[in-house]
């Protein structure tokens, strides 16, 4: 998610932020003239060969009923380090079923009064070709394994399912022009040193955590609909009933999102190296704004590829949806419901930065949300200062205001390093995890220099690309180079203190 979500915060804090933002961005001209600059050396992409989980799915989407029906086959290799007698999947669509009280936490903001619940039904599960048992508790599917799933061995699962898409302002919903399917596909939970991580679907933050996998997806839609996704679609084979089937395969991604769009959508397309960049927008939107968004996406993808490491996927999609904020998925990002018909460069760049921080370098976004959000917010401003300097200066000015008064939260035990489930509102979450988290990195940069920061983030990227990093992994990359003072610096900032970095 991006700072746009702060718009939802009520009260004085919002008013201050809005005034500051309006003043800062008024008359902001984008500087398109300069060549992309980054100070770190170019790096080459690595291909991970031991992808632990392969997802094969074939679904049919009924756009009138808003249903997805199909099967998911999962071939998973046990890389948990021990024998398992169960396996867990996240089934996030089940959060929006009938009868769930969604007025707690931040859900109130997402589930407006006109929302319509959805449903998720798993009709059958097979384990190694035989009918298996299963149970779903909220957004977690548990499948017991009769035969032990030993370390290094592979299991074959098959799930048959039907889901009805809910109507709300969230990641998985629809409007009159599109169905946007974020977190729809059951994804295997991570088993780390603490065991299986089966966190509920928290309302604050982007509470996701998964390993990379291969996704082979086949999706059938009516012929007057278009599909874009995390993968690059081979498009549309005509079925006997007149519908179209798109197929796509992609490696090394930790989720698979899709948007199904009617003919009101159009796209801008450009090639950046081996990657096709598409910006999908409604015909009713400003062409000029769409062009600016598209250009920002291209520039950011180019810049981060050069500074941190190449974007390795064949496609990158920036897609208008009706979600209340922008949102990142691997290879595809949402722009929010378009109310102002202006360019959303800040959102485009922030979500593009997430392709590196969250997408390629994974982390437990429940336990350590700062690890992707603070780093993405920092990277966004770093880019902006080079490519859109007035916007970058605006980011820094805004940060100065938003990081004042954080003691109120810190006295209640909330810090940059707190997990999402500690936060009870989006205001404190944004102020600490995004803004103060980015300030922590900017204050370090002031001492060690931009070049060193770029180099260390590149080292971090290279070491953890397609893997899962923890906060202490991130800190180690810095302290390996800068000495133990770096560890002390981060640990203090993450727990509410604000020391200067001294080498």
Q: Give the binding site for Zn ion (CB under 5 A).
A: 1, 373, 376
Nearest-approach distance from CB 38 to Zn ion, in angstroms: 21
User: Got the DSSP string for 108-177?
Assistant: HHHS-TT-B-BEEEEEEEEETTEEE--EEETTEEEEEEEEEE-TT-EEEEEEEEEEE--BSSSSEEE-SS
Nearest-approach distance from CB 31 to Zn ion, in angstroms: 24
Measured from the CB atom, is 180 or 265 closer to Zn ion?
A: 180
Measured from the CB atom, is 6 or 244 closer to Zn ion?
A: 6
- Pairwise CA distance, residues 280 & 321, whole Å: 9
Do residues 111 and 203 touch, judged by C-beta distance below 8 A? no
Nearest-approach distance from CB 110 to Zn ion, in angstroms: 16
Measured from the CB atom, is 1 or 6 closer to Zn ion?
A: 1
- Pairwise CA distance, residues 219 & 203, whole Å: 29
Nearest-approach distance from CB 201 to Zn ion, in angstroms: 17
Measured from the CB atom, is 127 or 353 closer to Zn ion?
A: 353
Q: Of 36, 123, 19, 148, whose CA–CA distance to 71 is shortest?
A: 123
- Pairwise CA distance, residues 215 & 230, whole Å: 9
Measured from the CB atom, is 1 or 178 closer to Zn ion?
A: 1
Nearest-approach distance from CB 218 to Zn ion, in angstroms: 30
Nearest-approach distance from CB 345 to Zn ion, in angstroms: 15
Do residues 326 and 266 touch, judged by C-beta distance below 8 A? no
Q: Of 163, 167, 191, whose CA–CA distance to 92 is shortest?
A: 163
Residue 424 has a CB neighbour count (10 Å cut-off) of 15
What residues contact 277, with CB distance under 8 A and at least 6 apart? Answer: 269, 270, 271, 294, 297, 298, 301, 315, 316, 317, 318
CB-neighbour burial class of residue 117 (10 A; exposed 0-12, middle 13-18, buried 19+) = middle
Measured from the CB atom, is 55 or 334 closer to Zn ion?
A: 334
Measured from the CB atom, is 109 or 251 closer to Zn ion?
A: 109
Do residues 32 and 295 touch, judged by C-beta distance below 8 A? yes
Measured from the CB atom, is 251 or 373 closer to Zn ion?
A: 373
What residues contact 453, with CB distance under 8 A and at least 6 apart? Answer: 382, 441, 444, 445
Nearest-approach distance from CB 359 to Zn ion, in angstroms: 11
Nearest-approach distance from CB 354 to Zn ion, in angstroms: 6
Measured from the CB atom, is 72 or 301 closer to Zn ion?
A: 301
Nearest-approach distance from CB 286 to Zn ion, in angstroms: 25
């Amino acid at each position: 998610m991006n700072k746009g979500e702060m718009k939802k915060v009520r009260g004085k804090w919002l008013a201050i932020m809005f005034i500051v933002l309006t003043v800062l961005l008024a008359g902001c001209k984008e500087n398109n003239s300069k060549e992309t600059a980054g100070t770190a050396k170019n790096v080459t992409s690595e291909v991970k060969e031991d992808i632990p989980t392969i997802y094969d799915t074939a679904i049919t989407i009924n756009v009138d009923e808003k249903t997805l029906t199909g099967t998911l086959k999962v071939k998973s290799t046990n890389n948990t380090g021990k024998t398992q007698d169960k396996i867990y999947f996240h089934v996030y669509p089940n959060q929006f079923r009938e009868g769930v009280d969604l007025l707690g936490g931040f859900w109130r903001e997402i589930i407006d009064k006109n929302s319509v619940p959805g449903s998720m039904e798993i009709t059958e599960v097979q384990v190694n070709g035989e009918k298996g048992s299963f149970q779903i508790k909220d957004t977690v599917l548990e499948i017991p394994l009769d035969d032990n799933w030993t370390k290094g061995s592979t299991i074959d699962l098959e799930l048959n399912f039907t889901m009805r898409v809910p109507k709300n302002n969230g990641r998985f919903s629809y409007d009159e022009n599109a169905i946007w399917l974020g977190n729809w596909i059951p994804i295997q939970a991570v088993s780390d040193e603490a065991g299986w991580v089966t966190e509920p679907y928290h309302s604050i933050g982007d509470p996701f955590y998964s390993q990379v996998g291969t996704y082979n997806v086949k999706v059938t839609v009516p012929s007057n609909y278009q599909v874009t996704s995390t993968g690059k679609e081979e498009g549309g084979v005509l079925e006997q009933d007149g519908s179209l089937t798109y197929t796509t395969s992609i490696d090394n991604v930790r989720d698979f999102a899709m948007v199904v769009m009617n003919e009101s959508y159009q796209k801008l397309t450009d090639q950046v190296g081996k990657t096709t960049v598409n910006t999908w927008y409604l015909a009713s939107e400003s062409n000029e704004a769409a062009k600016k968004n598209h250009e920002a996406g291209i520039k950011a993808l180019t810049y981060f590829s050069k500074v941190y490491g190449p974007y390795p996927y064949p496609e990158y999609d920036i897609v208008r949806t009706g979600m209340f904020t922008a949102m990142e998925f691997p290879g595809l990002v949402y722009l929010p419901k378009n109310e102002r018909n202006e360019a959303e460069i800040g959102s485009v760049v922030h979500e593009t930065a997430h392709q590196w921080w969250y997408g390629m370098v994974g982390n437990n976004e429940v336990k350590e949300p700062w690890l992707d959000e603070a780093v993405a917010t920092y990277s966004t401003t770093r880019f902006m200062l080079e490519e859109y300097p007035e916007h970058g200066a605006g980011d820094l000015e805004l940060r100065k205001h938003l990081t004042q008064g954080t003691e109120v939260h810190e006295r209640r035990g909330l810090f940059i390093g707190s997990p999402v489930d500690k936060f009870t509102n989006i205001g404190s979450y944004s102020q600490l995890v995004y803004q103060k988290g980015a300030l922590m990195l900017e204050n370090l940069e002031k001492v060690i220099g931009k070049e060193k920061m770029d180099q260390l983030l590149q080292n971090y990227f290279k070491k953890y690309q397609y893997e899962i990093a923890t906060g202490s992994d991130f800190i180690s990359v810095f302290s390996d180079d800068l000495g133990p003072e770096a560890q002390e610096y981060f640990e203090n900032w993450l727990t509410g203190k604000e020391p200067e970095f001294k080498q």
